[in-house]
Amino acid sequence: MKFNILDKGGRWIFYYLISSVVFAGGSHLIAYISRNNMWFFTPMSLIQFLILTIFFYHVIKNQLIRKILLIVLGLITCFATIDFFFLEGPMAYNSYSLSIENLLLLLYSVIYFWELMRDEDLVKQSIFVNNLPNFWYNSGLFIFHCSNFMLSLAYNFLQHTHFDRSIQNATLSVTFIGGFAEVVLIYIGLLKAQKFRS
């Protein structure tokens, strides 16, 4: 796989994959050393939100929506900063900002799917959507953020209550399964990119 065969959207997915490795490795290492990695987790989530917003900025064609994406990116960055420093704090899971980021990424995925279904250029060129790398990237992101939404919404609550830990473990398991599906679908997208450019 050569980096130069990827289009702009594909390159931002590549950056997302790199950030995911840093995110996972850094979170694990910090949790091992200090047992609380939330001060790292929240900023990394914001960085990934930024990367994926830029991905959607490149793949969504509607100019108004693209402008809205940039405005929302600025607003979410401000809100996440306030949440991190003043609302939930740097040592807690920032459910407020993470839930909104997750919900917005789901919305962006739906908008992109909607545009694909209505794209007359693809019909004229007889291109099936399942041949497009961005379709597969988006499918992976959609599945992961669907599976991650309940975690982002409820994890802080579950951490600070005396509920049976099986609920928390089940929520984490669904997220891990969604993450595995995301990696598989992004990999398929990268294979499609290689065929698409050859």
pTM of the model: 0.90
- Residue 77 buriedness (CB in 10 A; 0-12 / 13-18 / 19+): middle
Residue pair 168/176 in contact (Cβ under 8 Å)? The answer is no
Asked whether the CA dihedral 74, 80, 86, 90 is positive or negative, the reply is negative
Position of tokens 């830990």? Answer: 165
**86-90 mean pLDDT:** 89
% helix / strand / coil in the chain, to the nearest 5? Answer: 85, 0, 15
Is it the case that residue 161 has pLDDT exceeding 80?
no
**68-87 mean pLDDT:** 95
**Side chain identity, residue 32:** Y
HSE, side-chain direction, 13 A CA sphere, residue 69 = 25
- 198: pLDDT confidence band, cut at 50, 70 and 90? low
- 194: pLDDT confidence band, cut at 50, 70 and 90? confident
- Inter-CA distances, 156 with 43, 44, 52, 58, 153, Å: 16, 17, 24, 33, 8
Is it the case that residue 40 has pLDDT exceeding 70?
yes
